[in-house]
Amino acid sequence: MGEFVRLEVEAGVGTIRLERPPVNALNQQIQQELAAVAQQAGDREDVRAVVIYGGEKTFAGGADIKEMAARSYVEMTSFGTALQETMSQVAAIPKPTVAAVTGYALGGGLELALTADRRIAGDNVKVGQPEIQLGIIPGAGGTQRLTRLIGPSKAKDLVFSGRFVAAEEARDLGILDEVVAPDDVYSAARAWAEQFVDGPAAALRAAKTAIDSGAEIDLASALRLETQLFTALWATEDQTIGMNSFLEHGPGKATFTGE
């Protein structure tokens, strides 16, 4: 495990924890450790769903501006590419993922939350892409994942203004999926993740691939991808278990193996 990012596994749920006080600023080291932990979470068979969590006070307050300001253009080209690749690696974890958002998710912090399949936040949370106030733009998915999530007009409002958005508005915009009491954020996120622990792992992986990859291509190609992923599941043990269970006992009673 790294100094600032670690993976905790309990009862099938892996929690990616950011621990760089006071605000989990995303420097180069945390970026590298996050990439390594995302790879572990994806590879480990005992991890069936993932929670991304920055602790009780703050999810992630953004990039480490002091470190970033000291870099040259050439250095930022390398770092920016690596940071984008890390976020894509987190987004590509082949399991259900949920961001448990506390305090602030700003700049790179919001971009990290956007890599998750779902976002659950405290009712006191503030989110935003304030990079424009530094004379730059979001560089780790904020102009792209945010736009795909809420549409170009709303994304432009947030990116152009750099304003902070409170939890209720963020939910109305579609940035957040669920708003709960601040003390309930992690437990609510974990409860969402736990429902997939005993699910059909290959089917869940295929569903995530179909939705995420299909959104990036034309409809005809996406439908072909869906057919390929759909029919491939007939090679899994869980497909046999699920259908036999349905025929014998009705829906929702299968005991899957994850194979």
Tokens found for residue 91:
């987004």
Asked if 61 contacts 18 with a C-beta cutoff of 8 angstroms, the reply is: no
3-state SS class at 37: helix
- In sequence order, what are the residues at sequence separation of 6 or more whose Cβ sits closer than 8 angstroms to the Cβ of residue 136? none
33-47 pLDDT, tens per residue?
999 999 999 999 999
Domain(s) labelled CATH 3.90.226.10 in the chain stretch across 5-194
pTM: 0.94
Q: Which residues of the chain have pLDDT under 50?
A: none
What confidence tens digit (pLDDT) does each residue in 202-240 have?
999 999 999 999 999 999 999 999 999 999 999 999 999
**Which residues belong to the active site?**
111, 131
User: CB neighbours of 230 closer than 8 A, spacing ≥ 6?
Assistant: 206
Nearest-5° Cα angle at 16, 108 to 138: 10
**Omega within 30 of 0 (cis) for the link into 22:** yes
Residues of the chain with CATH 1.10.12: 201-249
Fold classified for 201-249: Lyase 2-enoyl-coa Hydratase; Chain  A, domain 2 (1.10.12)
What CATH class has 5-194? Answer: alpha beta
